[in-house]
Amino acid sequence: MKIQLLSRLGIACLASTLCLHASIAKNAPLIANAPVEITCTATPVDESDGVLVAQGGRGYGYAVYVQNANLCFSIRNKSKLTTVTSEAPAPAVAFGVKATLADGGEMRLFVDGEQVAIGNAGTVITTQPAIAFSVGMDIGSAVGTYILPFAYAGKVSDVMINTEKGAIQAAAPSTKSTEPEFFTPEQDRDALTLNTKNQEGLPNVLIIGDSISLGYTKPTIALLDGVVNTQRIRANAGDTNSGLKNIKARWLSDTKWDVIHFNFGLHDLCYRNPESTEQGHRDKINGTQAVPLAQYEKNLEALVLQLKETGAILIWASTTVVPEGEAGRVVGDDVKYNAVAGKVMKKHGIAINDLHALTVSFGGEYSLPGDVHYNKAGSTQLAEQVAESIKQKLTNEN
């Protein structure tokens, strides 16, 4: 059969929103006990690693992806993983991809019509995967050895799945983000699509946080290169209400995290008014606080309980300073919210990385007046403290 997905709809995971393009499992291509052919066009941005097309997970499924600059095709059958990899790096310009799984398990991988890898999985995929089909990232459970969601920073288009199960056409998924629109400065948005090169044997670290954390993500990854595999959620985490909605459903995936460094606060204490013309409708005079202090404490308690279920070492990052003149935030609320957060963390024995104290020491040097965000120099200082807190906890625990 031919299932043509998004044939005229380019999928780009480049913006400040998380582009989650997936069909629910019951509408996904029927691939069990049949040869499969996957084709698409990939348009990279710089050195684009990430998943192009995936279906299934650690039990049964397939994934076509770029890892460490090489094109890969992985098959899972009864949890057994077979991967073929191109010897040469994937092209730096748009290229056609074809991956085939034949009767008997022969796997072939092509770039622009030229075969670049061959192998054998021993059989076709014998069970229909229960996990959804996705484009531009992997969701739910990793088919390959990468860390979810392993989002592709480039554009994936002209996706087609060919099998022998009859013909259906899947509807194009919505490109709208389900995240609330939490503001992220332009200079920090590339952190939304960063992927570190996964090195086996290294601890896995997840960063959860708002746009301040997006600012320090890239330098943190650089500082921890070769020490840990650092990933961050592909979103501005926003407030604790957003956290409760997404922490399990979207952000944690099934990766075994060794350390989770997390923060919520600046969006919780922010006042907003639909009539305000300020960015984000901020208005501390006539607005309503997003998450009042008492609810913030309850939300944090619930979030911590969910994070503790991962078994990861948890590090709480205190909320950074609210400067004078901020349109939607009251000076001093940062202190109040940090006090409540500190109480929750102490109760659960969670280490605190005091980014508030650090940003107070900046004295406004690394930000514009009335702006909670930091320039590159400020974000680098934050990253240095974040990286050190992670290394210190891993050393102490080991």
- 152 and 217 both lie in a single domain: no
- Both tokens of residue 347? 């109760």
- 71 and 200 both lie in a single domain: no
Asked whether residue 145 is domain-assigned, the answer is yes
Across the range 100-120, mean pLDDT stands at 96
pLDDT (0 to 100) of residue 154: 84
pLDDT (0 to 100) of residue 171: 34
Asked whether residue 177 is domain-assigned, the answer is no
Asked whether residue 219 is domain-assigned, the answer is yes
Backbone φ and ψ for 41, nearest 5 degrees, come out as -115, 130
pLDDT (0 to 100) of residue 27: 56
pLDDT in tens, 150-190: 888 888 888 888 886 543 333 333 333 333 457 778 777 77
In the predicted structure, residue 10 carries a pLDDT above the cut 80:
no
- 216 and 325 both lie in a single domain: yes
Asked whether residue 173 is domain-assigned, the answer is no
- 202 and 150 both lie in a single domain: no
The number of domains in the chain is 2
| SS3 (DSSP) at 316 | strand
- Strand 204-208 relative to strand 229-232: parallel, antiparallel, unpaired? parallel
Asked whether residue 170 is domain-assigned, the answer is no
pLDDT (0 to 100) of residue 185: 81
Domain that holds residue 59: 2-162
- 102 and 32 both lie in a single domain: yes
Confidence of residue 30 (pLDDT cuts 50, 70, 90): confident
Confidence of residue 327 (pLDDT cuts 50, 70, 90): very high
- 215 and 300 both lie in a single domain: yes
Looking at residue 254, its amino acid is: D
pLDDT in tens, 219-244: 999 999 999 999 999 889 999 998 99
pLDDT in tens, 243-264: 998 898 889 888 899 999 999 9
pLDDT (0 to 100) of residue 291: 93
* CATH (domain of 54): 2.60.120.200
Asked whether residue 141 is domain-assigned, the answer is yes
Contact of 190 with 13, CB cutoff 8 Å: no
Asked whether residue 119 is domain-assigned, the answer is yes
- 64 and 136 both lie in a single domain: yes
DSSP character string of 32-86: TTS-EEEEEEEE--SS--EEEEEEE-SSSEEEEEEETTEEEEEEEETTEEEEEEE
pLDDT (0 to 100) of residue 6: 38
pLDDT (0 to 100) of residue 131: 72
- 56 and 158 both lie in a single domain: yes
| Mean pLDDT (the chain, rounded) | 86
| Percentage, residues of the chain above pLDDT 90 | 62
* CATH (domain of 258): 3.40.50.1110
pLDDT (0 to 100) of residue 140: 67
- 95 and 154 both lie in a single domain: yes
Asked whether residue 214 is domain-assigned, the answer is yes
- 255 and 294 both lie in a single domain: yes
In the predicted structure, residue 23 carries a pLDDT above the cut 70:
no
pLDDT (0 to 100) of residue 111: 95
In the predicted structure, residue 39 carries a pLDDT above the cut 80:
yes
In the predicted structure, residue 15 carries a pLDDT above the cut 50:
no
